[in-house]
Structure 1
Amino acid sequence: MGQTFKSLDDAEFNRFFTDFRFTAYRLESLQRYDVSYEKAEFDLFLGGQQRGEFPGIARWIEETVRPARAAGKLLHRVHVVEEPLSDYVRFECAWAYTHTVRAGEDVRLLPVSPGEWPTGLPHHDYWLFDSATLVMMHYGDGGTFEAAEVVDDAERIVQANFWRDMAVGRSIPFPAFAEKYGGSF
């Protein structure tokens, strides 16, 4: 195994998001992520606030999405989501994806029924940079980040590329998914 990062704020981990040359892809599998930079906004969302973009997402857009798009790079993700949507996924759709898509991130969703999972796809998160650098994302109960692990096994990297292609092919672009909900999450 390769390097392990214990913090999402690790400068070396974050260099993956500035140094990739062509593509950065994320598979998201959880129905809730518990990260500190979203807590206050998630609580506001649960309280019925209609605020929208928040500092963590604004930073992601300004530091990652817009520079990548300006350089002709593709930043994309597929989130496997259970329907009915969890409160957290509704929050992500309304307060994050709406804004990141507008800035140029290709966000796609793959809806499933509760307890079901798309055949052939893993039930864990990862980032894949330039189809060659695999970073497994490890989360604990409730979606708490534990570690990001760089994987240097060629077979696992090829498998992650296969999963990416499968997930993208089966998923729905966020704008079409949002239309299904009338833009109201």
Structure 2
Amino acid sequence: MIDEQQLEAAIDEHFHHAGDKLFRMECLPRYMASEGEESDFQRYLAGADGPDMERKEQWLAILRGEEARGLISYRVRAFSNAMTEYERYEADWCYVHNAAAGEDISVLRDGEHDTPATFIREDFWLVNDALLIPMQYDEHGRFLSADIVTDPDTIAPYLQARDDAHAAAEPFRAWWDRHPELHQRKRAA
């Protein structure tokens, strides 16, 4: 088991050369994030206009830098049919900006997209198809730990799940444009 710092170090160790690929599967209805992100979520719930862009810009600069260096970062976000406020926040205040900064984000929403039979409803990272990092969270979405898996036989079903989920998912920007009812300003109007 590894903690958050060890997780970041493991990813950084394997994700730094042009052409390296980093994939993230996200499935939880809520994540308890860093203090700054949690502050943004509370501001979102209170009806603020947008995230703390001074804080957010640090992450966006990382995404732009990775893209400029030829690193490939993508994710599939599995959303529930009746989206939680946190899922709406993620889409409206996080993914809109992350996608604009170069992250390839796709959406697989229950009741809207066909879920592949190979889908693994777990949070995990895949790095260069050779490193699997399954994530463990508590019932409130707080990160507990992660594992490092290098066994190809264990990784194989996750590669298939990733490929099938990515193929079935809809690119975030197109999905977001089709759902103005989820946009904060539209809901507040």
TM-score for both structures, normalised by structure 1: 0.86
User: Judging changes above 3 Å, is the alpha-carbon distance between structure 1 residues 40 and 95 closer, same or farther for their aligned structure 2 residues?
Assistant: same
CA distance 1:167–1:134, change in 2 (3 Å)? same
Contact 2:60/2:98 (8 A) holds in 1: yes
Q: Which residue identity does 2:137 align to in structure 1?
A: Y
Q: In 2, are the aligned partners of 1:53 and 1:95 still within 8 Å (CA)?
A: no
- Rounded to whole Å, the distance in 2 between the matches of 1:108 and 1:54 is 23
The reply on whether 1:40 has 2:35 as its aligned counterpart is no
Give per-residue Cα distances to partners, 1:144-180, cap 9 Å, x unaligned.
1001211122112121111110010100101111112
Q: Partners of 2:168 and 2:84 in 1: how far apart? A: 21
- The 2-side partners of 1:41 and 1:162 are apart by 35
Q: Residue in 1 aligned with 2:131?
A: 133
Cα distance, 1:60 vs structure 2: 2.3
Instruction: Identify which of 166, 169, 172 aligns with 2:170.
Output: 172
Structure 2 residue runs of 5 or longer lacking an equivalent are 185-189
- Counterpart-to-counterpart distance in 2, 1:144 and 1:156: 25
* Aligned pair partner of 1:7 in 4, 21, 25: 4
1:143 alignment partner in structure 2: 141
Aligned pair in 2 of structure 1 residues 11, 29: CA closer, same or farther (>3 Å)?
closer
Partner residue of 2:122?
A: 124
**1:53-64 matched pairs, under 5 angstroms:** 54=53, 57-63=56-62
Instruction: Give the counterpart of 1:111 among 109, 112, 127.
Output: 109
User: In 2, distance between residues paired with 1:107 and 1:13?
Assistant: 22
Number of equivalences: 180
Q: Percent identity?
A: 26
Q: Larger % of strand: which?
A: 1
- Any residues of structure 2 matched to 1:14-33 within 5 Å, and which? 15-16=12-13, 18-19=15-16, 21-33=19-31
Counterpart of 1:73 in structure 2 is 71
**1:43, distance to aligned residue in structure 2 (A):** 0.4
Deviations 1:109-168 (A, max 9, x none): 001049x96532112111101111111111111111001211122112121111110010
Q: Take 1:30 and 1:111, find their aligned partners in 2: how far apart are those partners?
A: 12
- SS of the equivalent of 2:120 reads coil
**Residues 5 and 13 in structure 1, CA contact (< 8 A), matched pair in contact too:** no
Could you say if the C-alpha distance between residues 100 and 11 of structure 1 is closer, same or farther in structure 2, counting changes exceeding 3 Å? closer
Larger mean CA deviation between 147-156 and 75-84 belongs to: 147-156
CA spacing shift, 1:184–1:8, aligned 2, 3 Å: farther
Among 154, 169, 172, which residue is 1:156 paired with?
Answer: 154
Change (3 A) 1:54 1:124: farther
Q: Secondary structure at the match of 1:141?
A: coil
Q: How far apart are 1:48 and its partner, in Å?
A: 0.8
TM-score of the aligned structures, taking structure 2 as reference length:
0.85
